[in-house]
Amino acid sequence: MTKFIAFALGTVASLVVSASVVNAETFKIGLSNGWVGSEWRTQMIDEAKEAAAKWKDKGVDVEVSVQSANVDVPGQIAHIRNFIAEGVNAIIVNPNSPTAFDPIFAQAKEAGILVIATDAEVSSPDAIYVGIDQTAWGAAGAKWLAETLDGKGKVVAINGVAGHPANEMRVAGYKSVFKDFPDIQIVNEVNANWDQAQGQQSMQNILATYPDINGVVVQDGMAAGAWKSITDAGKKDQIAATGEIRKDFIDLWIKEKLNSGATVNPPGVMASALNVAVLMLQGKELKEPAKAGQYGNALYLPIPFIDSKNVEEAAKQLEGKPGYYSYTSSLTIEDAEALFK
Amino acid sequence: MAEIATSPTYRRAGGLRRLLERYPFLPALAIVLVLLALNGIFSPNSLSYRSLTGLLSTYMALILLAIAQTYVVYAGDIDLSAGSILSLVNVAIIVLMERWGGGAGAVLLALAIGLLLGLACGLVNGLVVAALRLQAIVATFATSIFFTGLALYILPVAGTPAPTIFWRTYGGRLLGLPFVFYILVGLVVLLAVLSRTRLATQLLAVGDDQQAAYQTGLPVVAIRIRGYLLCGLFSALAAFCITGDTASGDPLVGGKMTLFSVAAVVLGGSALSGGWGTVVGSLLGALTIGLISSVVFFMGTPSEWQNFVQGLAILVVLMAGVLAGRRARP
């Protein structure tokens, strides 16, 4: 035991020494991603790494250290522990659970580490959230659909994973919009677990059960599947449905002249969070402290929207990229600086 | 297992073999020590007192879930609902603690109900698998969906903080030592007691040869149900630990842990076909999983290769375990 304590003291001492030696403008940032089921996550990490490299021009050395693997909640808590042991300055995490990280984030903060969550909000008062408001994301698609349908018609919803916080917020978002359109009737809501194939399957069932629907609210990659069923059934001119942001779909959208509108959940959110993190590590203060959202710790980023008016522009951004590449946007260093005093 | 003691050939075996017979988890222990050393080489900080405490408190839930899994695997069964039982107990105790005000009494009462709930889930599994004779792998997959549904009914979205007294105790210290150390000591004592009971031997006998066990007069159905009861009980204990480490309720928290628990059992040297295994091995297997993922990171593996290397490392460890285990097994 004493050996352990001596060892721990030794490492703490060496940490203190090394911390005082490094230049003030060198930051080490840990990125933790707990799910690698989609290209979106890969792009998210790649964009964050690019954002870190861009700080070189400003004379700031941002070293990123990435942990990305399919893990359960304890596995991701272990990610955070590893970062604490490594002695990073900040941790940016795309969390597997909204609430489970409260104790470990508290420990990170005690160790003087800045913690930022992105893509999914966390309840911890020791972290801030930099990302989009999923409720507003759900509302934006519904608003487009309601307006496209002139405020009346039969609508179905294809949702993600029941019980997943982002899904619940998006559902709350579209419900709050449709409430204001009494002539829009939600005839059914199904869960297709954010899976493209399940989205396609659900849409087939829906079309068989309700041949007279006018609109579909469907999230992310499931939209490509749903649109496949709609096109196969020869109904693409009668149905308006929300879309998604991958190049393959956007190309199809233009080619088939789909009546679609896509709320963008940009993979650049982690890059935005990284830029905010670096500025905070430099000791700058936010003009408006991050106090939004249900947990009172969120800094919401703008949510781009693609509809038939600007879909060509979106396609231009994606030109030459692989088919799975998502339309993206993120705060540049200058954009982020504008948020600070 | 029983044969080993009576078979004279093994008595004449060499020292190493005899050691492996007596302590079949030794290969798993060696692997854990090697992984600890590797962690230490790549990141000396990861062996600090604080990091090791953290490792233990984070992986205690998986350790308990792996032990839960071991008891059904003993009898040649499997429980794919263990993670869902963990989720269900997690949300149930969180909601109860909140409803009853979060005092010490409320916490203890909620934990008692959590244990009963775990036992009830185990009983359901046991009845479905052993009494109704459905295939364990599919039946428990079905009950896992059922238990997840219940958990989602109790708490539709992750949230609801645990009472401070609960997680501060779990993550805190008692008489200068981290609380998880006491849990570990308590667990080792409990396992030692359980391994001396008739039930452990009976489970292994059923797993070794169900027909033979039946013909020698063992109540096979009742024994398998008791295995599932133990599994439910330890899954509930695992839920307590995850609640302590995450301080909140999450109806989906255990989903991904089920297969890790099965992997930990196998890494610990137990045979999925039943009749052979140790709970201490599963404990070490769970630690192995934790240590592998941190060593993959500390080695500086690029993020896009981390899953690949982690999978490869688990395979290598599995092979090492099998090679060592083969020497000891008849």
User: Which chain A positions have a beta carbon within 8 Å of B44's beta carbon?
Assistant: 7, 11
* Interface contact flag, B251 A70, Cβ < 8 Å: no
- pLDDT of amino acid A9: 56
Q: Is residue A229 part of a domain?
A: yes
Q: Is residue A191 part of a domain?
A: yes
- pLDDT of amino acid A72: 81
CA dihedral A102, A108, A113, A116 (to 10 degrees): -30
Which residues numbered 220-249 in B keep a CB inside 8 Å of some CB on A? 242, 245-249
Judgement on whether residues A232 and A167 belong to the same structural domain of the protein: yes
- pLDDT of amino acid A54: 95
Contacts of A74 (CB under 8 A, 6+ apart): B58, B59, B61, B62, B242, B245, B257, B290
Question: Could you report the per-residue pLDDT of A250-260, keeping only the tens digit for each?
Answer: 999 999 999 99
Judgement on whether residues A158 and A254 belong to the same structural domain of the protein: yes
* Residue B275 banded pLDDT, cuts 50, 70, 90: confident
Burial of A308 (0-12, 13-18, 19+ CB in 10 A): middle
Question: Could you report the per-residue pLDDT of B23-43, keeping only the tens digit for each?
Answer: 888 888 999 999 999 999 998
Query: What's chain A's average pLDDT?
Result: 90
- pLDDT of amino acid B101: 86
Which of A263, A285, A316 represents a domain boundary (last residue)? A263
Which of A235, A263, A291 represents a domain boundary (last residue)? A263
Helical residues (DSSP H) of B47-178, grouped into ranges: 49-74, 82-99, 104-126, 136-154, 164-171
- Statement: residue B5 has pLDDT above 60: no
Nearest-10 crossing angle of helices B220-246, B164-171: 100
Judgement on whether residues A6 and A38 belong to the same structural domain of the protein: yes
Helix (H) or strand (E) holding A25: none
- pLDDT of amino acid B325: 66
Q: Is residue A75 part of a domain?
A: yes
ipTM: 0.77
d(CA A158, CA A200): 10
Q: Is residue A323 part of a domain?
A: no
For B129-144, what is the mean pLDDT? 94
Look at A171-180, A264-273, B160-169, B190-199 and tell me which has the smallest mean pLDDT.
B160-169
For A257-280, what is the mean pLDDT? 96
Helix (H, G, I), strand (E, B) or coil at B224: helix
Instruction: Give the pair of three-digit tokens for residue A304.
Output: 């781009």
- pLDDT of amino acid B157: 82
- Statement: residue B96 has pLDDT above 90: yes
Q: Which residue type occupies B52?
A: L
- Statement: residue A276 has pLDDT above 80: yes
Which residues numbered 267-296 in B keep a CB inside 8 Å of some CB on A? 290, 293-294, 296
Judgement on whether residues A25 and A123 belong to the same structural domain of the protein: yes
User: Which chain B positions have a beta carbon within 8 Å of A170's beta carbon?
Assistant: none
Q: Is residue A322 part of a domain?
A: no
pTM of the model: 0.82
Judgement on whether residues A115 and A49 belong to the same structural domain of the protein: yes
Structural domain count of chain A: 2
- pLDDT of amino acid A6: 57
Q: What angle do CA B148, A127, A42 make, to 5 degrees?
A: 65
Look up the CATH number of the domain holding residue A16.
Answer: 3.40.50.2300
* Residue B172 banded pLDDT, cuts 50, 70, 90: confident
User: Which chain A positions have a beta carbon within 8 Å of B257's beta carbon?
Assistant: 72, 74
For A109-121, what is the mean pLDDT? 95
| Tokens 């285990």 belong to residue | B325
| Tokens 């499997």 belong to residue | B78
Judgement on whether residues A9 and A128 belong to the same structural domain of the protein: yes
Closest residue in A to B152 (Cα–Cα): A163
Are the C-beta atoms of residues A154 and A212 closer than 8 Å to each other?
yes
- Rounded to a whole number of angstroms, the distance from the CA of B49 to the nearest CA of chain A is 5
* Interface contact flag, A82 B294, Cβ < 8 Å: yes
Across A270-274, A320-324, B44-48, which has the greatest mean pLDDT? A270-274
- pLDDT of amino acid A206: 95
- pLDDT of amino acid A213: 94
Instruction: Give the pair of three-digit tokens for residue B330.
Output: 């008849």
Question: Could you report the per-residue pLDDT of A171-227, keeping only the tens digit for each?
Answer: 999 999 999 999 999 999 999 988 899 999 999 999 999 999 999 999 998 999 999
Q: Is residue A139 part of a domain?
A: yes
Are the C-beta atoms of residues A242 and A145 closer than 8 Å to each other?
yes
Query: Residue A155 belongs to what domain range?
Result: 134-263
- Statement: residue A39 has pLDDT above 50: yes
In chain B, how long is the greatest CA-to-CA distance? 63
Q: Is B304 on the interface with A (CB under 8 A)?
A: yes
Q: Is B54 on the interface with A (CB under 8 A)?
A: yes
- pLDDT of amino acid B9: 44
Contacts of A84 (CB under 8 A, 6+ apart): A107, A108, A111, A113, B54
Look at A15-24, A329-338, B318-327 and tell me which has the smallest mean pLDDT.
A15-24
Q: What angle do CA B157, B163, B164 make, to 5 degrees?
A: 125
* Residue B237 banded pLDDT, cuts 50, 70, 90: very high
Q: Is residue A8 part of a domain?
A: yes
- pLDDT of amino acid B10: 45
Judgement on whether residues A259 and A154 belong to the same structural domain of the protein: yes
- pLDDT of amino acid B137: 93
User: Which chain B positions have a beta carbon within 8 Å of A4's beta carbon?
Assistant: 48-49, 52
* Residue A17 banded pLDDT, cuts 50, 70, 90: very low
d(CA B18, CA A19): 52
Smallest Cβ–Cβ distance between B158 and the set A72, A87, A98 belongs to A98
Closest residue in B to A33 (Cα–Cα): B303
- pLDDT of amino acid B6: 40
For A152-164, what is the mean pLDDT? 91
Judgement on whether residues A23 and A123 belong to the same structural domain of the protein: yes
Across A81-85, A155-159, B246-250, which has the greatest mean pLDDT? A155-159
Instruction: Give the pair of three-digit tokens for residue A184.
Output: 């829009």
Judgement on whether residues A203 and A242 belong to the same structural domain of the protein: yes
* Interface contact flag, B167 A66, Cβ < 8 Å: no
Q: What percent of chain B has pLDDT over 70?
A: 94
Which of A237, A263, A289 represents a domain boundary (last residue)? A263
Judgement on whether residues A127 and A271 belong to the same structural domain of the protein: yes
Judgement on whether residues A87 and A187 belong to the same structural domain of the protein: no
- pLDDT of amino acid A4: 57
Instruction: Give the pair of three-digit tokens for residue A249.
Output: 């779909």
Judgement on whether residues A117 and A228 belong to the same structural domain of the protein: no
Smallest Cβ–Cβ distance between B245 and the set A77, A79, A82 belongs to A77
- pLDDT of amino acid A186: 94
Q: Is residue A185 part of a domain?
A: yes
* Residue A2 banded pLDDT, cuts 50, 70, 90: low
d(CA B31, CA A136): 49
Name the residue among B146, B105, B107 with its Cα closest to residue B125: B146
HSE-CB at B204 with a 13 A cutoff on CA atoms is: 18
Are the C-beta atoms of residues A124 and A115 closer than 8 Å to each other?
yes
- Statement: residue A22 has pLDDT above 60: no
| Tokens 């295939």 belong to residue | B135
